[in-house]
Structure 1
């Protein structure tokens, strides 16, 4: 987020004020003893003003800012050297250069070069003291030029702080929105899983109530299948589709153990790729005659999205290792199926 005074406002006000100072300078040409040098100072001020106000970018280039400081040092020397100190100071507009230096330094201060702006008005203060003494600082309006730069500095600091605070608030707002979205997603996911589980378990629960929990061996087996299916809904997530559910149930009914483990490896894939992967998983389970089938997603960063492993040995745990003591080679499971499904084709 960017908080700043509109550029056209600064350019417009600066151009009007610079033009006003040139008019004052023109009205006081007779006060100078060397008109060509006087006009040269006016031209130098006009060129410097145009360079400072040219809205090419938000921050003025360092070269332009340094040039403006050089002009602020040259103007007092070019103009004051022609003036008669015997005349009352500030009685006419011949010391227009004081306001001119202040204007140039405000221009570069407003466009990001605060240190150079202070350097320019410091040079003006030093020149005034050396030329007309400390008392001339107030008579010529040097204090006013210093005050302008000070106000500009404070405004720039305030705007930068406001911009920093606005960025911090924007980040906090974005993080809050992301947190709320995550919470809503978790709530939706939880409600969806509860509704899904309710629909799956309700017929069996009603049957249990109706029979007074007097279940036949077949019904008990169906309860085990139902429990495994509910577990798939929790742990399988993006691996599940109607085809996968169907093939998993067929494999379980023939006596196989099927484990679906979704560890978030498919979350960053497009829906089309997820559908392709689920179709391949369903085909692999349908073709396999293994007694234990483990389907697992692979973390992002790998070319493989899902691995499907079929083991032709019972007594295999969830990770696909033999449940035996490890001392008998006959306990090692045989790999009946090994399939790596790529993330993209």
Structure 2
């Protein structure tokens, strides 16, 4: 049994007890008993409607997700019924009871009874209805028995109940907001930790590849004191190129691209690869196609220098520039032998 079910049972029992006090006529006189028999069931029906509404979901339906401030709030017509009961029940009871008996418990139960109803209304997220109904019973009681008797016979307690319910609901709403914010912060922290873990794994992979690429030639360099043969110097330059590729453009690399880069360098081509962003939102199948096209371009390149750059442009993913001569500047347009652009794959529409 849920907490809400237990609280609802307690509310049903308590309001039934308050209503039952209206039949304890010993020690007083009721001039119109039929009125009592009409208004007491009316009070119980409306009160229990507010208690039981939405307690059990419809058959076959999943329970609704609780939303702060909108947890199965009753409709407007139910609020009108509650206010109607707050107006009708006290006035009907005080009218039906003999004037000398209006301060007896079987008459003044209406103060606590309507106070309990308005406390339930407040808990069900209708604060305006609750305060209007409480004001209605307060005015009616004061008019029938006077201010001081009304205050001493339950009006103060009813006001305290409703006010405490409003403070409690405000505290619960604040706690729900804080819990939701904490959950969002925890999710953000988890995402950040996952991102950092991914970057650490990527760095470890890059370090391992760097050691695999440069480790042997570095060991040979140390062993010979830098006196490498021509073939070993070529391997050193190739190892340096592989290391730069892994650090500067890892998203453009696969086994085929790595092989074509090494072949180009063995042909005497100086290759510079720069990943300057722009590939973050491209799916892996599209990256595979970009790498395949890059490998084809590298296979047929014959320029002295190749510059491979990723592009953040909306239409271009990668730009490959082939240059001749020794100039490092890009102002000499005559030295540009190759200019190829790999188009950015079209993103699927949302």
How far apart, CA to CA, are the structure 2 residues paired with 1:247 and 1:116?
A: 77
Q: Is 2:37 the counterpart of 1:23?
A: no
Q: Which residue of 2 aligns with 1:171?
A: 184
Q: Which residue of 1 aligns with 2:43?
A: 45
**How many residues end up aligned between the 2 structures?**
330
Gaps of 5+ in 1: none
Q: Which residue of 1 aligns with 2:300?
A: 287
How far apart, CA to CA, are the structure 2 residues paired with 1:211 and 1:190?
A: 30
Superposition RMSD in Å: 3.0
Q: Following TM superposition, by how much is the alpha carbon of 1:190 offset from its aligned partner in structure 2, in angstroms?
A: 2.4
How far apart, CA to CA, are the structure 2 residues paired with 1:8 and 1:279?
A: 64
After the TM superposition, which residues 196-215 of structure 1 pair with which residues of structure 2 at under 5 Å, given as runs?
196-215=209-228
Taking a change above 3 Å as real, the CA distance of residues 88 and 103 of structure 1, as seen in their structure-2 partners, is closer
After the TM superposition, which residues 181-330 of structure 1 pair with which residues of structure 2 at under 5 Å, given as runs?
181-299=194-312, 302=314, 306-311=317-322, 313-315=324-326, 317=328, 322-324=330-332, 330=334
Choose from 89, 99, 124 the match for 1:111.
Answer: 124
Q: Following TM superposition, by how much is the alpha carbon of 1:236 offset from its aligned partner in structure 2, in angstroms?
A: 0.8
Choose from 77, 86, 97 the match for 2:91.
Answer: 77
Q: Which residue of 2 aligns with 1:55?
A: 54
TM-score of the two chains, using structure 1 as the length reference: 0.82
Taking a change above 3 Å as real, the CA distance of residues 342 and 89 of structure 1, as seen in their structure-2 partners, is same
Q: Following TM superposition, by how much is the alpha carbon of 1:170 offset from its aligned partner in structure 2, in angstroms?
A: 1.9
Q: Following TM superposition, by how much is the alpha carbon of 1:250 offset from its aligned partner in structure 2, in angstroms?
A: 1.0
How far apart, CA to CA, are the structure 2 residues paired with 1:299 and 1:51?
A: 62
Q: Is 2:127 the counterpart of 1:129?
A: no
Contact 2:46 2:82 in 1 (8 A): yes
How far apart, CA to CA, are the structure 2 residues paired with 1:242 and 1:128?
A: 89
Contact 2:111 2:141 in 1 (8 A): no
Taking a change above 3 Å as real, the CA distance of residues 155 and 340 of structure 1, as seen in their structure-2 partners, is same
How far apart, CA to CA, are the structure 1 residues paired with 2:166 and 2:289?
A: 62
Q: Following TM superposition, by how much is the alpha carbon of 1:253 offset from its aligned partner in structure 2, in angstroms?
A: 1.8
